[in-house]
Amino acid sequence: MKTSVKKVKQKAGTVKNKWKEIYMRHRYVSGITVIELVLILVIVIALLLIFKNQLIDLINTIFDKIVSESSGI
């Protein structure tokens, strides 16, 4: 009788360890790493620098339109 209880506890322990291992592996794989975040920021900043003049012109056009249309309100 004691051996069967011991085997059940061992199996429960191994199942618990398996779930813990799966959780730990998933935790490291699913998160975004610092390197990925830095690379994304570098790409965004580079695009902003490349298209700086076009973005400034677009923003100025939008604000000019807002100002001209808000005078009619």
The contacts of residue 48 (CB under 8 Å, 6+ apart) are: 55
Domain-by-domain residue ranges, the chain?
1-31, 42-73
Question: pLDDT tens-digit profile of 44-68?
Answer: 999 999 999 999 999 999 999 999 9
What average pLDDT does this structure show over 7-32? 65
pLDDT at 6 over 70: no
* pTM (2 d.p.): 0.47
pLDDT greater at residue 30 or residue 62: 62
Given a contact cutoff of 8 angstroms between Cβ atoms, the answer to whether 12 and 18 are in contact is: no
Percent of the chain predicted with pLDDT > 90: 40
Q: Which two tokens stand for residue 60?
A: 């100025």
Phi, psi (degrees; rounded to nearest 5) at 35: -65, -45
